[in-house]
Amino acid sequence: MINATMERLERLLNEAKESNARYFAIQVLIGGNPSNEIIINQRESFDEKLAYYKKTYDEDLKHKFADIWITDFIYGDSFDEIEKMLDWYE
């Protein structure tokens, strides 16, 4: 697991916008599930998603109302690129 914080997520999402990346992905761990899930958002929704994350997750990226954590995040221009960069096994 990376040192995931809201500040770091926001910084990387802004970097994705500045570089005109096509996608921003988060990896989440949902309590009780044996594996992580990946959510991929398109460039057009970056601002909306950041507002949602800030409203729904605390500074340590723990969901405020559910047993869910954002464990990693990355941006890229293809699903393959994102898959290769995320660590699926932490």
Per residue in 47-90, pLDDT tens?
999 999 999 999 999 999 999 999 999 999 999 889 888 765 44
Q: Is residue 48 part of a domain?
A: yes
Into how many domains does the chain fold?
Answer: 1
Mean pLDDT value across residues 12-19: 97
Helices (H), the chain: 6-18, 46-56, 79-85
Q: Is residue 1 part of a domain?
A: no
Q: Is residue 63 part of a domain?
A: yes
Confidence of residue 2 (pLDDT cuts 50, 70, 90): low
Q: Is residue 69 part of a domain?
A: yes
Range of 32's domain?
Answer: 6-85
Amino acid at 77: D
This prediction's pTM: 0.88
Q: Is residue 80 part of a domain?
A: yes
Residue 36 to residues 10, 11, 45, 74: CA-CA distances in angstroms? 21, 23, 22, 15
Residue 43 has what DSSP assignment?
Answer: G
Given the structure tokens 């601002």, which residue do they identify? 47
Instruction: Count the neighbouring beta carbons within 10 Å of the beta carbon of residue 63.
Output: 16
Assigned token pair, 75: 């941006």
